[in-house]
Structure 1
Amino acid sequence: MLRIAVQSKGRLFDDTMNLLSESDIKVGASKRTLLVSAQNFPLEVLYLRDDDIPQSVATGVADIGIVGENEFVERGAEAEIIRRLGFSKCRLSLAIPKAENYTGLSWFNGKKIATSYPVILKKFLADNNLNAEIHVITGSVEISPGIGLADAIFDIVSSGSTLVSNNLSEVEVVMKSEALLIGYPGMSEEKRQILDEMLFRFEAVRQAEDKKYVRMNAPKDRLEEIIDVLPGLKSPTVIPLADNNWCSVHTVLDEKRFWEIIGKLKELGAQGILVTPIEKMIL
């Protein structure tokens, strides 16, 4: 049985549970139970505070964990980074009151900065030869300048709406963060085999992101031109139709270029274009 530490609430919890669900790992989310077993996979989920996850994995209380890179770096726990997961993206930034005239990093000299990430901030200040006072605070860091507790803040920024509502301006991005899958270095071979199966499922879900399965009827006299337009994984599937002048073409398209390519296909005479989402894709 593999044990994974997961944040007990918040955006990272939602994204993690979605990933497990899309990987067909069924876990009941209970607010009152700290340890829950999956129904169809040798996995048990340990719900923890985000700042407890790195140490829990580093000490072997959990075999693996999903945690924000910001918390992993801040805690400095000796766990293995297994994979970057690409979701729950945010950044750690310095922000100051909008009314201030920001002149560059030197502005922070002699200032008081409120943060929940003193380790990362201390290193940034040292690397840039800045002399500022760090005021450690948990919870609503963004209100600190407004109540006179600090001159600036160093905190997580996602959409930036919280800064705007507190009359703050983001002036320096110190680090970017995303969800990490971390692991206990001393994990047994048996547990690593379970982990490999989970990673295989995660990769199948990731490969399907922003991909569409496209089927169309294509005139045979334009088939080569149509195939040249399609950026398929290898080569599109071509199937004969009852009408010898036509064939059916199946392929996978990236959503980013979807409408551009569909427009070209229509110009080349493709008809009956059918588009369906892809849940999983195994390469």
Structure 2
Amino acid sequence: MLKIAIQKSGRLYEDSIKLLKECGIQLNNGNKQLKTIAENFPLEVYFLRDDDIPQYVYDGVADIGIVGENVLLEKNKDIDLVYRLGFGKCRLSIAVPKTMQYRSITDLNGLKIATTYSTILQKYLAEKKIPAEIHEISGSVEIAPGIGLADAICDLVSSGSTLFTNGLKEVEVILKSEAVLTANKNLSEENKNILEKLLLRINAVKTAKNNKYIILNAPNHQLQNIENVLPGMKSPTVTPLATEGWSSVQSVVNENDFWEVIEKLKQFEAEGILVIPIEKMIV
């Protein structure tokens, strides 16, 4: 049985549970247990503190884990990054008081910077050759400049509203982070096989979210142009309509290209374009 560690609370918990459910894995954690076994997949789930997950995976207590990339890099454990999951996106940034005139990173010279991410910050400052002092604290980093504990901070930023509320402005982005799936380097063959099955499901879910299924009607004299716009997974599906000279075309369009493709289809006389979300997509 494959053992997975996920956050027991916090910003990654809901999306981690949602992902497992979208993969068809049924969990029963109604009483907020710290451990549960999936009903229909060989998976045991541990609910842990985010900061502890890399250590549990490294020690082999958990085989795999879902954790923020920022935590993975900060803890610096020798475990594998298996899959970028695309949720929990944020950035680790340096922020200074709004009143400070900030021109470049050299303005950090000699300053005291408060952070929870001392390992990542130390590496970044060393690479930039900035001699700043790091003051490591465990929480409420954003208030450090206001109470005289530090001159600047290095912390996670999503919308930036917390920085604004505390009179700070973001000046340097150190790292762009998201939730990642990690794995112990010494998985048994049995658990490697289970992980491959899980990855197949995760990839099908994530690929589906990035694509749309479209159905449209088109005049036959424009089919070649439309097929060039809609390559689909291999090629579009084309079916003759009852109306002479017209066909129905079905294909898959990547979310990033969607509106550009729609505009081209309209130029080639496409009509009745239906856009349908895809639940799973196995390629």
Same fold (TM over 0.5): yes
SS in 1 for 2:28: coil
Q: Give the stretch that moved more between structures: 259-268 or 79-88.
A: 259-268
Output the amino acid matched with 1:109.
N
Match for residue 18 of structure 2?
Answer: 18
Output the amino acid matched with 1:37.
I
Superposition deviation, residue 31 in structure 1: 5.8
Output the amino acid matched with 1:44.
E
1:37-62 Cα shifts (integer Å, max 9, x gaps): 11211111100001000000000000
1:194-217 Cα shifts (integer Å, max 9, x gaps): 100000001111211231111112
Match for residue 122 of structure 1?
Answer: 122
Q: State the 4+ residue runs in structure 1 displaced beyond 6 angstroms.
A: none
Distance, in Å, in 2 between the alignment partners of 1:230 and 1:64 is: 38
Match for residue 185 of structure 1?
Answer: 185
Output the amino acid matched with 1:115.
T
1:243-278 Cα shifts (integer Å, max 9, x gaps): 332221111112333233223323333222222100
Distance 1:268-1:95 versus aligned 2 partners, 3 A rule: same
Please give the residue correspondences for 1:148-227 in structure 2 after superposition, counting only pairs within 5 Å: 148-227=148-227
Distance, in Å, in 1 between the alignment partners of 2:220 and 2:74 is: 60
Q: Give the stretch that moved more between structures: 222-231 or 17-26.
A: 222-231
Show structure 1 runs of 5+ residues with no match.
none
Distance, in Å, in 2 between the alignment partners of 1:122 and 1:70 is: 14
Superposition deviation, residue 88 in structure 1: 1.5
SS in 1 for 2:146: helix
Output the amino acid matched with 1:26.
Q
Output the amino acid matched with 1:142.
E
Superposition deviation, residue 86 in structure 1: 2.5
Q: What TM-score do the two structures reach when normalised by structure 2?
A: 0.94
Distance, in Å, in 2 between the alignment partners of 1:76 and 1:220 is: 58
Match for residue 37 of structure 2?
Answer: 37
Distance 1:193-1:105 versus aligned 2 partners, 3 A rule: same
Distance, in Å, in 2 between the alignment partners of 1:124 and 1:263 is: 44
Superposition deviation, residue 175 in structure 1: 1.8
> Does 2:78 correspond to 1:78?
yes
Q: Give the stretch that moved more between structures: 21-30 or 86-95.
A: 21-30
Please give the residue correspondences for 1:63-142 in structure 2 after superposition, counting only pairs within 5 Å: 63-142=63-142
Q: Give the stretch that moved more between structures: 45-54 or 28-37.
A: 28-37
**Structural RMSD (CA):** 1.6
Output the amino acid matched with 2:191.
K
Match for residue 235 of structure 1?
Answer: 235
Q: Percent identity?
A: 55
Match for residue 279 of structure 1?
Answer: 279
Superposition deviation, residue 29 in structure 1: 3.7
Distance 1:50-1:30 versus aligned 2 partners, 3 A rule: farther
Distance 1:227-1:59 versus aligned 2 partners, 3 A rule: same
SS in 1 for 2:190: helix
Distance, in Å, in 1 between the alignment partners of 2:263 and 2:172 is: 41
Superposition deviation, residue 69 in structure 1: 1.1
Q: Give the stretch that moved more between structures: 184-193 or 27-36.
A: 27-36
Match for residue 145 of structure 1?
Answer: 145
Distance, in Å, in 2 between the alignment partners of 1:101 and 1:151 is: 13
Superposition deviation, residue 222 in structure 1: 2.1
Distance, in Å, in 1 between the alignment partners of 2:129 and 2:218 is: 64
Output the amino acid matched with 2:120.
I
Distance 1:76-1:261 versus aligned 2 partners, 3 A rule: closer
Distance, in Å, in 1 between the alignment partners of 2:105 and 2:263 is: 48
Superposition deviation, residue 231 in structure 1: 4.0
Distance 1:185-1:256 versus aligned 2 partners, 3 A rule: closer
Q: Give the stretch that moved more between structures: 265-274 or 105-114.
A: 265-274
